[in-house]
Amino acid sequence: MTDRIARLNSRALIRVAGPDARPFLHNLLTQDVETLGEGEVRFGAMLSPPGRLLFDLFLWGEGEAVILDVAADRRAALIQRLTMYRLRAQVEVAADDRPVMASWPGVADGFVPDPRTAALGGRAIGERPADAVEADYDSHRLSVGVPDPAADAGSDKTYPIEANFDLLNGIDFHKGCFVGQETTSRMKRRGEIKKRMLPVTFEGPAPSPGAEILNGELRAGEVLTGQNGVVMALVRLDRIDGALTIEGRTAQVVRPVWMIETSN
């Protein structure tokens, strides 16, 4: 099958450069930045001090700089927050106007594997010939069962583990301190994970965001985003088995292959 390529207009770039760029970001983000190699991409996040998700990120190694791939409508807010944290660190933070591209189902020439799961395909910075649109890529992402934290997580409401960052290589639990590290590590260590974002299938058009998922008469979760036949939902793990319904329609939680593999 020929790989498809789309420009992700919902994503934008920030360039963080300067002699302190890597240690500066390393102390803030959930991912190891100091060992990030040239041309390598990693998945991570910036959290609030209480450990809730503020920004999902892809980090690219580019010389002495680090390129952050973030939600386009959140780029200005992240630049502002990084500037606030900068203090005396020798770093420069600026917008980078190159586009973000995705390829799927495989890794096209000039792309690198998506660090979350091989099933997603590849990712690249810079213009490439495209034969698809972002909505096509979103359909592929949903079919793989991977949430889009920028769209699915309410601002400062969701813990990164609820968005599966621990299973999608988005948190380095061995790197040491980062903002929000204490809560994140405690949830993982104690197994205090009550909810996760998972795909839910059904027949017919997508329900509205916020629609309840019921297990009998008990609330089992809520719809976040999606399309005909499948949505991403935040569901209670103790209520995902049984007779689920959304707006009266029979529904089923799907455990993605990557989740089964990483949980074993």
Residue range 33-78, pLDDT digits in tens: 999 999 999 999 999 999 999 999 999 999 989 999 999 999 999 9
Residue 154: band (very low, low, confident or very high) from pLDDT cuts 50, 70, 90: low
pLDDT, the chain, mean: 94
* Domain 194-263 annotated CATH 2.60.40.10: no
User: Are the folds of 4-152 and 194-263 the same?
Assistant: no
Predicted confidence (pLDDT) per residue in 226-262, tens digit: 999 999 999 999 999 989 999 999 999 999 998 887 6
Per-residue pLDDT, averaged over 72-92, amounts to 94
CA distance 76 to 82: 10
What are the residues whose beta carbons fall under 8 Å from the beta carbon of 206, sequence distance 6 or more? Answer: 223, 226, 227, 228, 229, 230, 231
- CATH 3.20.10.10 for the 4-152 domain, yes or no: no
If we measure between CA atoms, which residue out of 159, 112, 166, 104 comes closest to residue 135?
104
Query: Do you know the residue count of the chain?
Result: 264
The domain limits of the chain are: 4-152, 194-263
pLDDT digits (tens, 9 = 90+) for 102-123: 999 999 999 999 999 999 999 9
What average pLDDT does this structure show over 131-137?
Answer: 97
Q: What is the pTM of this model?
A: 0.93
Predicted local confidence at residue 264, as pLDDT: 52
- Beta-sheet strands, E only, within 63-215: 65-71, 92-96, 100-104, 112-113, 122-125, 195-201, 212-215
